[in-house]
Amino acid sequence: MKILLLSNMYPSEKHPYYGTFVKTSEDILLDEKHDVKKIVMTKTNNSVIRRIKYLLYYAHIILYLLVVTDRIVYIHYASHSAIPLNMISKMRRKQKIIVNLHGSDVMPENKGQKKLQKHVRKLLNNAFQVVVPSMYYRELVIYRYNLDSEIVNVFPSGGINPSVFNCDIDRNICCDVLQLDKEKIYIGYVGRIDYQKGWDIFLEAISLLDKEKYGDLIRFVVVGSGKENDFFNEKVKKYNLEKVITKYDMLPQQQLRDVYTAIDVLCFPTMRESESLGLVGLEAMACGTPVIGTNNYGLKDYLVDNVNGFSFELGNAKSLADCIDKFLSLDSDDLYFMRENSIKTAERYEIKNISNSLTILFEEVGKGSDI
């Protein structure tokens, strides 16, 4: 089958983890011997170069599709690729388009993304099939865009790579690599330090923990950076947490695996409606680490309260602190049970266990055509 993959997010040598879900989807299709041609953008931090890249990206798409008519178009991240596709659709109404939605392309988080919504709506109305990362997002997309439920499919953002995220490495080794005290209990946060990611809820929650009860036993690990770094540092000082938090900027996947293994529990306090799945939580579970997460959004698909972690009330630091306290009070049998269930949950999302849903979708789309 001939497929044209389009995305404004794709890994590069300089940014190897940017848009990895797109590369994973491509690899799944290539493994099934499909003929995949791609037009993609890689990351740049220079705003001028970024604008030039977008112009070239749009032009390449339009010129290619004016000439080539025999490929299924598979588009990732709808809002930033919708314009050229909508232009082509006026001339090629029978073009088969599969749109893979991910997050803020559906739930815009700034003015620029909001302006693009009219293009997203038009693209989805022209789509042959739509792919979303979770059941939560499926319901949201069907309602928001009034789509036929028959065309909206779930494929979990490329899934978990078990060769990277697994529980095969000893925690003590990871602690040594990260220069953490293996005698301490570590509570972690992994994510951008940005608006509505919940890092502030995390800091407030750990400031509420009973210091007399836990003494010097607990430490905290934060992995991430973002637009609110200065605000983060102010909060750390406000709560007097400087001596108990170890912070890293964004880490490559292998080092993230070490973090997930070293920490005892991951807190996932996101408040973003665009949190369409939350691969961070599944990556932690694959390493045998339970998750304490919000009782909403994409996490609902896999986080089961008292089974593979705990759910807390959205945006409520006291509720998160209570769940942390509950986790720290687990006996060894309950902790083992929760860790085993975390591993089993993540296994369901391994690439080998989810890839079939994507390949079947393309087979169905390709039926009855010469593509």
Q: Report residue 352: phi and psi, to 5°.
A: -65, -25
pLDDT of residue 161: 93
Tokens of 289: 């680490």
Contacts of 248 (CB under 8 A, 6+ apart): 221, 222, 223, 224, 255, 259
- Residue 248 binned pLDDT confidence (cut-offs 50, 70, 90): very high
Tell me the three state secondary structure of residue 78. helix
Kindly state the tokens that stand for 121: 């709506």
The number of C-alpha atoms within 13 Å of 134 and in the hemisphere containing its C-beta is 21
Q: What confidence tens digit (pLDDT) does each residue in 315-335 have?
A: 999 999 999 999 999 999 999
* pLDDT surpasses 70 at 370: no
The answer as to whether 22 is a domain residue is: yes
Q: What is the span of the domain harbouring residue 324?
A: 171-347
Is the pLDDT at 233 greater than 90, yes or no? yes
Cross-strand pairs, 39: 6
DSSP, collapsed to helix, strand or coil, labels residue 168 as coil
User: Residue 350 has what DSSP assignment?
Assistant: B
Mean pLDDT of 299-321: 97
Instruction: Supply angle C-alpha 304, 18, 130, rounded to 5.
Output: 60
Q: Averaged over 199-211, what is the pLDDT?
A: 96
Secondary structure letter of residue 196 according to DSSP:
T
Q: Is residue 178 part of a domain?
A: yes
- State the pLDDT confidence band at 174, using cuts at 50, 70 and 90: very high
Q: Which of 94-98, 330-334, 357-361 has the highest mean pLDDT?
A: 330-334
209 & 332 share domain: yes
Mean pLDDT of 337-345: 98
How much is the pLDDT for 40? 97
Q: Do 14 and 154 belong together in one domain?
A: yes
pLDDT band at 93 (very low <50, low <70, confident <90, very high): low
In a domain, 343, yes or no: yes
Report, as an integer, the average pLDDT of 50-66. Answer: 95
How many other C-beta atoms can be found within 10 angstroms of the C-beta atom of residue 35?
13
End-to-end CA distance of the chain: 5
**Are residues 17 and 125 located together in one domain of the fold?**
yes
Q: What is the DSSP letter of 80?
A: G
The answer on 242 and 130 residing in a single domain is no
Same domain, 226 and 148: no
- Same domain? 197 vs 99: no
Residue 137 has what pLDDT?
Answer: 95
pLDDT at residue 334 in the model: 97
Q: Which residue has the higher pLDDT, 63 or 367?
A: 63
In this structure, the answer to whether residues 133 and 219 fall within a common structural domain is: no
CB 119 within 8 A of CB 93: no
Contact 346, 165 (CB under 8 A): yes
Three-state DSSP class for residue 319: helix
Q: How far apart are CA 370 and CA 24, in angstroms?
A: 26
pLDDT at 108: 83
Q: How far is CA 304 from CA 77, 180, 245, 270, in A?
A: 28, 29, 28, 16
Is residue 371's pLDDT more than 70? no
Residue 107's pLDDT is 86
The CATH number given to whatever domain includes residue 34 is: 3.40.50.2000
Beta carbons of 132 and 124 less than 8 angstroms apart = no
Sign of CA dihedral 271, 273, 279, 281: positive
Is the model's pLDDT at 69 over the cut of 90?
no
Residue 92, phi then psi, degrees to nearest 5: -125, 75
Q: Residue 146: pLDDT above 90?
A: yes
Rounded average pLDDT over 50-65: 95
Mean pLDDT across the stretch 119-138?
94
Q: pLDDT confidence of 158, banded at 50, 70, 90?
A: confident
pLDDT at position 287: 98
Kind and range of the H or E run holding 257: helix 253-262
DSSP 8-50: EEE--SSSTTTTHHHHHHHHHHHHTT-EEEEEEEE--S-HHHH
Whether residue 154 sits in one domain with residue 206: no
| Residue 49 domain flag | yes
> Rounded to the nearest 5°, which phi and psi values hold at 218?
-105, 140
- Among the listed residues 38, 49, 46, the one whose alpha carbon sits nearest the alpha carbon of residue 9: 38
Note the pLDDT of residue 16.
87
Residues 71 and 100 in one domain: yes
Pairing state of beta strands 129-132 and 72-76? unpaired
Q: Is residue 165 part of a domain?
A: no
Q: What pLDDT, on the 0 to 100 scale, is given for residue 127?
A: 93
What confidence tier does 337 reach under pLDDT thresholds 50, 70, 90? very high
- Our count of domains for the chain comes to 2
Which range of 82-86, 272-276, 320-324 scores highest in mean pLDDT? It is 320-324
Q: What is the average pLDDT score of the chain?
A: 94
Q: Is 166 inside any structural domain?
A: no
Token pair, residue 157, equals 């953002």
- Contact between 250 and 224 under an 8 Å Cβ cutoff? The reply is yes
In a domain, residue 164? The reply is no
Give residue 369's pLDDT band: very low, low, confident or very high (50, 70, 90): low
Residue 133 has pLDDT above 70, yes or no: yes
Q: Is the same domain home to 45 and 133?
A: yes
Instruction: Over range 64-90, report the average pLDDT.
Output: 90
Tell whether 130 and 218 lie within a shared domain.
no
Q: Is residue 146 part of a domain?
A: yes
Whether residue 299 is found in the same domain as residue 358 = no
Residue 243 has pLDDT above 90, yes or no: yes
pLDDT on residue 211: 87
* Per-residue buried b or exposed e for 98-128, using 16+ beta carbons within 10 Å of the residue's own CB: bbbbbbbbbbbeeeebeebbebbbebbebbe
